[in-house]
Amino acid sequence: MRRVLTAAIAALTVTTAGTVTTGAPGQAALPGWGRPAPASATPTPGSAGLGDSYFPDYGNGGYDVGHYDVRLRYEPATDRLTGTTTILAKATQALSRFNLDFLLGVRSVRVNGWPATFKRAGVHELVVTAPRPIAKDQQLTIVVTYAGVPSETLVNGYSGWTRTADGALAVNEPESAWWWFPSNDHPKDKATWDISVSVPTGVEVVSNGVQPRDPVAEAGNRTRWSWRSTKPGATYQAFLAIGQYDIVTDTAPSGQPVINAYSTTLGDREPAARASIERTAEIVDWESGLFGPYPFEAQGGVAGPIDGIGFALETQTRPVYGPGFWRRGANPYVVVHENAHQWFGDSVSVADWSAIWLNEGFASYAEWLWSEEQGEGTAQELFDFTYAGYPADSEFWQVLPGNPGADRVFDDAVYDRGAMALHQLRLAVGDQAFFRILRAWAARHRYGNGTIAQFQALAERISGRNLDGVFTTWLFTAGRPELTGAARTAVAPVQPKSWPRLREAHQLLPH
C-alpha cells in the first residue's frame, strides 16, 4: 500500500551498528547434526540480499523459510517488546553463515540447538554464524531471542512500528517485520506463521488468520493471544494490532470464519468503519466470482485507532485500515481494494518490487469493477474521467507503472495509470478472455510470485493475441498514450457517481 522509507533505505551505505558475539564457535560437529557437507560443497556465506532490483539487500540468500513461530511479550505503557522467534528453514546451499533481517536488540541465536555467534551489519542485517557448517538441504531450526522498544528503533528517523495511546500497530510495506521479528524479509520467501503475544489483561491483540486457541490467562494479570496463518505469505503481510478493540466474529456465506476488529478510539467514525468493514464477506464473495476461489483461511478487517496509521494495508486475511477512510462516511471501495489484494499481492506476490503494478493496478481496477457492479459508473466511464483528469503535460504521465522506480513504488501512476492499463487490456482481449486471464493468473501463481512478463505471456496465451502494444504503451512508455478506435475517450466525460469516494480512498492509499 505505501511506504515511507522509499529509496532512502536502498541508497544507504552499509554502516556497522555494533557487534555482539556469543556462543561457542569452532566446535566440532557431533553426530545427529545432520548430513555432513560433501567435500565438493564448500560452505560459503548466504547472500545479504535476494537481489531485488529496487531493494537489493532485502531478504537473504542461502535458505528458505517454511514457518515462523513468533512469541512476544508487549508492554503498552512503555512500548517494550521482548520475544523469541523460532524459524524453521531449509538450507538451499552449503552455508558458512547466513543473514536475517532485523532491527531490535538480539540476546541470543541458536541454530539446531547450538549457540551461534551473531553480529549486525548494514541497516537491518543480522549475520549469524552457526558453530558447525550447514549442508545444502539441511533442515534448520533458528531460535532468536530479543528485546527492544520498536517505536524508538529508527531507520532514517522512521519506525515501521506505530505506537498509539493504547497499544501499537505493526503494519507497513515493504518494511514491517524488521521491528518485531527476525525474518527473510522479501516476498520471494513465503512462509506460514504462528504469532502469540502476552499483554496486560484487558488489552486485545489482533493478527492474521485464525485463533488456534482462546486467549489464555497468564501470571501477573496478563493474557496471551494466539493467531495462526496456515497459508504461505510474505513477511510484510504479517501484522499486529494491539490496543482496545471490539472483536466481532461471524461465519461468511462461504463457511469461512470472519473476524473483524474495531478500535474503541474511533468516536463518531466508528459507525462508518463498521458499515464498510462489515461488508467484507459480501465483497470477498463478489471478488471470488471474478478472480476465483478466495485463497486464505479466514476473512476480516481491522479498523485501526484514531492515532494510528494514515493508510490501509492488505495484511493477509485481514486488512488494516487507518481512520481517515471513514472521515466522510462509509467507503466500501477501500475494502474492495484491500481484499482484491488477497488475490493480487498477497497470494500472488511480486517477485521483484519493481512489479508493484501487479498489486496496485489490479486492486485499483477492482474498485472500478465494484463501481460498475453497483451502478455507480462503469470502468469505461472511470477510465475516461481518470484519463481526462491528468493533462498531457502532467508529471503523472512520466512515471512508468511497470517500473516506477524505488522511490515511486506507491506513486499515483501505479494505481491510476495501472488501472487504466488493465482496462486497455480488457478492451483489447474482450471481457471473457480478460476475466479468464485474471483467474488463471491467481490460480497459476497461488501462494507464489509473479513478474509482469509472465502476466503478459499468460494474457497472450489465453487471448491468442500479441499484446506487446498494450503493455509497452501503458506500462513502460512515458507520456500520455493517444487513444484510438474503440479506446477513444469522450471529449468531456461526466464524473461517475463513485468518483468522490474513490478519490477519498486514493488520497490515502498511496503516499
Binding site for Zn ion (CB under 5 A): 1, 360, 363
- Residue number with CB closer to Zn ion (278 or 360): 360
- Residue number with CB closer to Zn ion (102 or 294): 294
User: Cα(234)–Cα(100) distance, rounded to whole angstroms?
Assistant: 15
Enter the C-alpha cell of residue 294.
478466495
Q: Which residue, 290, 277, 442, is CA-closest to 373?
A: 290
- Residue number with CB closer to Zn ion (102 or 333): 333
Using DSSP's 3-state secondary structure scheme, residue 242 falls into strand
For the bound state, the minimum distance from the C-beta of residue 335 to Zn ion, rounded and expressed in Å, comes to 12
Count the neighbouring beta carbons within 10 Å of the beta carbon of residue 4: 19
- From first CA to last CA, the distance across the chain in angstroms is 8
- Residue number with CB closer to Zn ion (313 or 458): 313
Q: Which residue, 57, 61, 118, 66, is CA-closest to 93?
A: 61
User: Cα(21)–Cα(325) distance, rounded to whole angstroms?
Assistant: 47
For the bound state, the minimum distance from the C-beta of residue 173 to Zn ion, rounded and expressed in Å, comes to 9
Residue number, nearest CB to Zn ion? 363
For the bound state, the minimum distance from the C-beta of residue 337 to Zn ion, rounded and expressed in Å, comes to 6
Strand-pair partners of 54 = none
Q: Which residue, 378, 374, 306, 313, is CA-closest to 341?
A: 313
Helix/strand number for the chain, H first, E second:
11, 23
For the bound state, the minimum distance from the C-beta of residue 499 to Zn ion, rounded and expressed in Å, comes to 18
Q: Which residue, 186, 232, 173, is CA-closest to 208?
A: 232
User: Cα(159)–Cα(372) distance, rounded to whole angstroms?
Assistant: 39
For the bound state, the minimum distance from the C-beta of residue 358 to Zn ion, rounded and expressed in Å, comes to 11
Tell me the residue ranges of DSSP E strands in 28-121: 44-45, 63-75, 80-91, 95-101, 105-111, 114-115, 117-121
- Residue number with CB closer to Zn ion (87 or 363): 363
- Give residue 34's identity as a one-letter amino acid code: G
For the bound state, the minimum distance from the C-beta of residue 193 to Zn ion, rounded and expressed in Å, comes to 22
How do 167-170 and 240-243 pair as beta strands? antiparallel
User: Cα(43)–Cα(129) distance, rounded to whole angstroms?
Assistant: 11
Answer for the pair 235, 185: CB distance below 8 angstroms, yes or no.
yes
- Residue number with CB closer to Zn ion (129 or 208): 208
- Residue number with CB closer to Zn ion (91 or 313): 313
For the bound state, the minimum distance from the C-beta of residue 143 to Zn ion, rounded and expressed in Å, comes to 34
For the bound state, the minimum distance from the C-beta of residue 388 to Zn ion, rounded and expressed in Å, comes to 23
Enter the C-alpha cell of residue 436.
479468464
- Residue number with CB closer to Zn ion (362 or 474): 362
